[in-house]
Amino acid sequence: MKWKNNKLILPILCFIILVILYIDNNYIFKKIKLEKKCNESILRIAEMNNEPTFKISKIIKYSSAETIDNSLKQDLQDINIHQYSDLAIYIDNMSDELTEKNTVKELYLDNFKINVKYKKGSQELYYKNPFDISKFRLIDENKIKDTLKYNIIHTNDENTENIYSNPTFYTDCSNPITIEFVNQNIVSNYKVTKNNEIISSDGRIFNNIDINLEELSPKISFMIHIKNNLDEEYICNVLCDFDLETSEGSIKSGYIIQITNDLSQYNFFRIK
């Protein structure tokens, strides 16, 4: 009986080895095929992005503050302080000649993230009329929830300012993307206690209060999506730091403006 069982061991072992070899070979074959397909995709994407069609050419950042006196007598005994930062992003479509390739059919922003170390206050992002850049605006219907989708227009209009009451972008990229960050009520119920205390309705208010401007400086990021008139899709990830105090200036002087022109890393990446 033992001899018969021993005779079965070798065929069983051989069968198991064959199964293992088949599984390994099949796995290796699939892995090689997947790697080949992946490499082909990478090469195809690289070829598509050999010459960029869109890029970010300039970013303008403006930061200031706003004070709101809630007291009935307007005697500066109940002041709320908001910090706000405006962002204007200019897109270059890389050619003086307009074609279906370098004109915009669809534009939207998503994947918004806000990072502020200063824990007081309530942080929100808003679409902003470009004519209101540098002015404090708190328009509830312009609040960005998950996605900011733009209306694309193709012709000039005499009533331009009215057009921008809603998110609007020209197909030839001739106007900037504009959004506003607001940190509401970073200070609430502030009272003026000295007769000679000067209260300003802009960033100079930070000369009166003890707040770490480095912790208050916001960082925001989001993704820009463009579809051109050939239905090709492009993306660009934007990371924007608003420094409220630098060696070149401070929000404590009223406001701070930063302009960035060296943006070679901000080419749009074609994905389809």
| pLDDT of 3 above 50 | no
Condensed to tens digits (0 to 9), the pLDDT of residues 27-40 reads 565 556 555 555 54
Condensed to tens digits (0 to 9), the pLDDT of residues 47-103 reads 555 678 999 999 999 999 999 888 877 777 888 999 999 999 999 998 889 999 999
Residue 16 one-letter amino acid: I
The answer to whether the pTM exceeds 0.95 is no
For β-strands 55-69 and 219-228, DSSP reports them as unpaired
Distance CA 94, CA 104 (A): 13
* Beta-sheet strand order (sheet of 219-228): 148-149, 104-115, 219-228, 233-241, 269-270
Token pair belonging to 106? 């669809």
Q: Where are the domains positioned within the chain?
A: 1-48, 55-270
Average pLDDT in the chain: 85
Distance CA 102, CA 162 (A): 26
Query: Of 63-77, 170-184, 221-235, which gets the smallest average pLDDT?
Result: 63-77
Query: Of 63-72, 188-197, 248-257, which gets the smallest average pLDDT?
Result: 188-197
| pLDDT of 171 above 60 | yes
If 0-12 CB within 10 Å is exposed, 13-18 middle and 19+ buried, where does residue 89 land? buried
